[in-house]
């Protein structure tokens, strides 16, 4: 049993299953999009497909990222213990795992409508290209934002077979938020990245990094607020936005000295921002209407 666990453990770390933060950052906006598209609780089968798909595709993205970065990761303190960088796994093993994960994703794609299938193939292409962007551009965080927001587009097509303007507004809001939090993540590795020639928004922004993160956070919050206005959401959604804004302020406090450990804490804190988005949408579309119905049913006749 211990030998089996020891054999599996490097694959678990390669897929980041031991670090589910990335999966949650991808999952919460996608589930929020499903709720918005369905105007309430979405079909159970879509909840299962998109939840499983989120974890499968995030795992596949991590594997292809480590394949692309296998010669860079040994030179970065945060990544030098990854299975490919440390030599625990061979390239062929990682490639086999990537093919297996993509095969699982294709099985899930078969279960959704044609429009969502086409978008899923586009999302796979973006996720595969993302790891190479840091070699060509200072904006890999933007590409990651597109990849991580792609589930929003797919959620709308899965429910309605098209993406309304509110869906694209949610996509833009998510993109702005992701660029903000991934810039904080890039601030952790900035010194190592400068040495090995890797590009990022943290390097592009330089000493204006905190300001630019703040601009992105405020822009994302305004876009989320515009979405709520267009959808005519009320108190439940607005309280969620207040909570998200409070978390952004806390993240700015954490990165005030640009200490790598604190920048990482600020990045990790965004799982609560994502949960706040999901929670306020569920509150607006499910919990508050349910409470109102109960009050109306049990109130005085």
Residue 235 lies in a domain: yes
DSSP string for residues in 93-150: HHHHHHHHHHHHHHHHHHTS-HHHHHHHHHHHHHHHHHHHHHHH-S-HHHHHHHHHHH
pLDDT recorded at residue 2:
57
Is 293 part of any domain?
A: no
The answer to whether residue 107 is domain-embedded is yes
Q: What's the domain range around 58?
A: 2-287
* 18-32, 66-80, 106-120: least confidently modelled range: 66-80
Answer positive or negative: Cα dihedral of 156, 158, 160, 161.
Answer: positive
- At 76, which CATH number? 1.10.357.140
For the stretch 124-165, pLDDT in tens is 888 888 888 888 899 999 999 999 999 999 999 999 999 999
3-state secondary structure of 202: helix
Token output for 133: 């962007």
Which residues are within 8 A (CB) of 271 and not within 5 positions of it... i.e. 6 or more apart? 21, 24, 25, 28
> Residue 129, exposed/middle/buried by CB under 10 A (0-12, 13-18, 19+)?
middle
User: In this structure, are residues 151 and 123 in contact, taking their beta carbons and an 8 Å threshold?
Assistant: yes
**Can you give the pTM of this predicted structure?**
0.92
Question: Is residue 295 domain-resident?
Answer: no
Half-sphere exposure for 69 (CA within 13 Å, toward CB)? 32
Q: In this structure, what token pair is assigned to residue 255?
A: 């990165």
The total domain count for the chain is 1
Give domain status of residue 135, yes or no.
Answer: yes
pLDDT(244) > 60:
yes
User: Does any domain span residue 252?
Assistant: yes
**Residues 83-135: pLDDT tens digits?**
888 888 888 988 999 999 999 988 999 999 999 999 888 888 888 888 888 88
Q: Which helix (H) or strand (E) holds 43?
A: none
Kindly state whether residue 300 falls inside one of the protein's structural domains. no
- Over 60: is that where the pLDDT of 39 sits? yes
Residue 101 included in any domain: yes
């Amino acid at each position: 049993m211990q030998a089996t666990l020891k054999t599996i453990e490097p694959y678990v770390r390669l897929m980041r299953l031991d670090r589910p933060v990335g999966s949650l950052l991808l999952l919460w906006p996608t589930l929020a999009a499903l709720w918005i598209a369905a105007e309430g609780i979405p079909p159970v089968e879509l909840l299962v497909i998109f939840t499983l798909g989120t974890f499968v595709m995030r795992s596949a993205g991590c594997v292809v990222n480590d394949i692309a970065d296998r010669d860079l990761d040994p030179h970065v303190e945060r990544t030098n213990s990854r299975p490919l960088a440390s030599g625990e796994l061979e390239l062929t093993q990682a490639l086999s795992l990537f093919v297996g994960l993509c095969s699982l994703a294709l099985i899930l794609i078969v279960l959704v409508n044609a429009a969502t299938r086409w978008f899923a193939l586009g999302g796979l292409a973006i996720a595969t290209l993302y790891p190479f962007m840091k070699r060509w551009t200072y904006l890999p965080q933007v590409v990651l934002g597109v990849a991580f927001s792609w589930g929003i587009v797919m959620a709308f097509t899965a429910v309605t077979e098209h993406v309304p303007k509110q869906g694209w507004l949610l996509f833009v809001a998510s993109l702005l938020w992701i660029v903000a939090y991934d810039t904080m993540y890039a601030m952790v590795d900035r010194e190592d990245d400068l040495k090995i020639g890797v590009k990022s928004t943290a390097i592009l922004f330089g000493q204006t990094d905190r300001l630019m993160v703040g601009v992105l956070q405020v822009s994302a919050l305004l876009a989320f607020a515009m979405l709520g206005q267009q959808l005519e959401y009320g108190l439940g959604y607005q309280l969620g936005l207040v909570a998200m804004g409070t978390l952004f302020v806390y993240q700015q406090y954490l990165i005030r000295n640009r200490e790598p450990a604190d920048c990482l804490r600020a990045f990790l804190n965004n799982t609560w921002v994502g949960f706040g988005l999901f929670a306020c949408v569920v509150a607006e579309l499910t919990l508050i209407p349910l409470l109102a119905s109960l009050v109306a049913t049990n109130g005085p006749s």
